[in-house]
């Protein structure tokens, strides 16, 4: 059963900033990495529970993408009633733990 993957406005901003930060518009390698990240996020439509819970909030999950030290955390929640995955925030894995205010739209 497939889930609908939805991006909050915060997650959309995170993706746009990331695209600019890695210079994906001028680097084929960076653009390929960026689209790989987007594909990994969209793959949450199938088996969204495969990713671990976050250490900050046990109601949220995280998809890790990339390799250390250049990996990103995609923070999301699953709405079982609606069969939806809500992508809340995308952040570099080396950053401090997030706070609930970091997830605000």
Q: What is the pLDDT of residue 92?
A: 81
pLDDT digits (tens, 9 = 90+) for 33-51: 889 999 999 999 999 999 9
Percent of the chain with pLDDT over 90: 61
How many angstroms separate the CA atoms of 29 and 7, rounded? 24
pLDDT given for residue 75 in this prediction: 96
1-10, 62-71, 77-86: range with lowest mean pLDDT? 62-71
Residues 72 and 62: their CA atoms lie apart, in Å, by 9
Do residues 10 and 104 touch, judged by C-beta distance below 8 A?
yes
Give the right CATH number for 4-103 from 1.20.58.100, 1.10.10.1150, 1.10.287.610, 3.30.2310.20: 3.30.2310.20
**In this model, does residue 13 exceed pLDDT 90?**
yes
Domain ranges of the chain: 4-103
Strand order of the β-sheet with 84-92 is 4-7, 84-92, 70-79, 61-67
- Predicted TM-score of the model (pTM): 0.86
Round to whole Å and give the CA distance between 1 and 99.
32
């Amino acid at each position: 059963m497939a889930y609908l993957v939805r991006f909050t406005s915060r997650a959309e901003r995170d993706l746009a900033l990331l695209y600019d930060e890695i210079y994906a518009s001028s680097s084929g390698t960076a653009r390929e990495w960026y689209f790989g990240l987007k594909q990994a996020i969209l793959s949450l439509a199938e088996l969204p529970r495969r990713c671990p819970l976050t250490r900050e909030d046990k109601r949220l999950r995280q998809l890790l993408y990339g390799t250390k030290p250049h990996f990103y955390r995609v923070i999301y929640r699953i709405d079982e009633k609606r069969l939806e995955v809500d992508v809340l925030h995308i952040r570099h894995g080396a950053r401090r733990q997030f706070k609930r205010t970091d997830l605000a739209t």
